[in-house]
Amino acid sequence: MNLSIRILIGLALGLVMGVVASVYQSSSLITLSGWSEPIGKLWVNSIRMTVIPLLMALLITSIAGQKNTNNAAKLGAKSLGFFVVAIAISSFMVFVLAPPLLSIFSIDPQASKELLAGTQVTVAKTSELPPFRDWLIGLVPTNPIKAAADNAILPLLIFIGLFAATLLRIKQSQRDIIVGFFDAVKDAMFVLIAWIMNLAPYGVFALVFSLSATLGLSAITALGSFILIACGLIVLATLLLYPLAIIVGRLPAKEFIKFIAPVQVIGFSTRSSLAALPATIDATEKLGISSKISGVVLPFAVTLFKFASPPARITGTYFIASLYGIELGYVELMVIAIAISVLSFYSPGIPSGGLLIVSPVYLSLGLPVEGIGLLIAVDLIIDMFITASNVTANITAAAVLSRADR
């Protein structure tokens, strides 16, 4: 049985056993879920420990392996252009589909009052959001080692990218030494990742089992219509990526579906594109995508390219307006979609940061910021779908941008 099938089995078993434990309150299963949680976290930590050295090795060998800095700069510009266009398309799709879908479900006023109770805490949380000015200044790290230790990935990537570009300006013999070292680091990380991936079915099972045992069906039933619509739109946006990768990116359909499935499962269970990065890189290699291209595209994609975040956040904003009985006109709906699309590129490293960054949109349009607290309450479920979609988008971006190379 291949690894992809074993990972899917681990996911299914974890979901079923977790729901059974929650619904029937089985003491033995609940105890087992408590023991499985640290096992899942250990597996995620083992993946995360490879990310920083792998990112460094990929960027340095990919950029320094180009003929000149112009090639790397062009690839970076193309990547950013792809990110912008893809997010614009996914946001437009939600702008068109979300309002009529939300209008199908009538919200009971009494249910609204119960759901809105206790959401005042969000006002205090928004003060935790770092000012955009500080985030912008922090893009250039004063200490790259500290940035790596703090998991400040985007500032670290900027430093590594600049460092790799300087290697093209030094003597060939010196450059070969540095590139050779990081090429060996990259190969060693792939061996370590292969070992870790062999444990993926058990890690995925442990993560999903403990999570579903904790959540059960209560979170789904409380805000079922919103969760159903948001996750459905994310799935629809993800399905649009398949023909893009297969037709435009010229990838074999069967192989694309086969190799992307375990990456999606890991993204779904860990809720982290960074944690899924090693599996993402492995999938691109199996799909025949050049490491010189994926080594530049993927590190920046996991940091900047939040393909599924705008659909989820735009739908959430429309839902909050409906919950509070606020009528949104065509212009307001469009402004919300555009603003959240732009803000998706700004990702502060704080819990629920992706939701908190939309608070300026709420304030400017007179929407209740307190409603963000309600979205945070169910974000755990939606974030699983977001991450699975994002890793799919990352591989699709690498496929499209490597099309000419292949």
The whole-angstrom separation of Cα 160 and Cα 275 is 20
Tokens of 381: 């479920």
Q: What's the pTM? A: 0.79
Report, as an integer, the average pLDDT of 269-290.
89
Contacts of 147 (CB under 8 A, 6+ apart): 141, 155, 156, 159
- For residue 260, pLDDT over 90 is answered with yes
- For residue 124, pLDDT over 50 is answered with no
**Residue in 383, 364, 389 with CA at minimum distance from that of residue 313:** 383
Pick from 319-323, 376-380, 401-405: least confident: 376-380
* Domain ranges within the chain, ordered by starting residue: 3-401
- The alpha-carbon radius of gyration of the chain (Å, integer) is 22
61 vs 211, more confident: 61
The whole-angstrom separation of Cα 310 and Cα 312 is 5
Report, as an integer, the average pLDDT of 275-282.
90
Any idea what DSSP says for residue 368? Answer: -
The alpha carbon of 350 is separated from its chain's Cα centroid by a whole number of angstroms, namely: 15
Give the sign of the dihedral formed by CA 313, CA 314, CA 318, CA 321: positive
The whole-angstrom separation of Cα 285 and Cα 228 is 34
Count of CB atoms situated within 10 Å of the CB of 129: 16
The whole-angstrom separation of Cα 222 and Cα 119 is 15
Contact 395, 287 (CB under 8 A): yes
Task: Work out the pLDDT band at 92, boundaries 50, 70, 90.
Answer: very high
What's the confidence (pLDDT) of residue 307?
93
The helix/strand/coil state of 226 is helix
Pick from 26-40, 306-320, 375-389: least confident: 26-40
The whole-angstrom separation of Cα 175 and Cα 3 is 38
Task: Work out the pLDDT band at 34, boundaries 50, 70, 90.
Answer: confident
- For residue 295, pLDDT over 80 is answered with yes
Indicate the average pLDDT of the chain: 82
The pLDDT tens digits of the residues spanning 225-247 come to 888 899 999 999 999 999 999 99
Task: Work out the pLDDT band at 224, boundaries 50, 70, 90.
Answer: confident
Pick from 156-160, 163-167, 293-297, 368-372: least confident: 368-372
What's the confidence (pLDDT) of residue 114?
53
- For residue 116, pLDDT over 70 is answered with no
- For residue 210, pLDDT over 60 is answered with yes
Angle between helices 379-401 and 277-286 (to 10 degrees): 30
3-401 fold: Proton glutamate symport protein (1.10.3860)
321 vs 390, more confident: 390
**Residue in 356, 302, 306 with CA at minimum distance from that of residue 156:** 302
Most confident region among 114-123, 319-328, 393-402 by mean pLDDT: 393-402
Task: Work out the pLDDT band at 95, boundaries 50, 70, 90.
Answer: very high
Report, as an integer, the average pLDDT of 185-211.
86
Task: Work out the pLDDT band at 126, boundaries 50, 70, 90.
Answer: very low
Give the sign of the dihedral formed by CA 348, CA 350, CA 353, CA 354: positive
Report, as an integer, the average pLDDT of 321-326.
80
- For residue 215, pLDDT over 70 is answered with no
Tokens of 201: 């079915």
**Residue in 104, 178, 127, 176 with CA at minimum distance from that of residue 348:** 127
What's the confidence (pLDDT) of residue 14?
84
Count of CB atoms situated within 10 Å of the CB of 122: 22
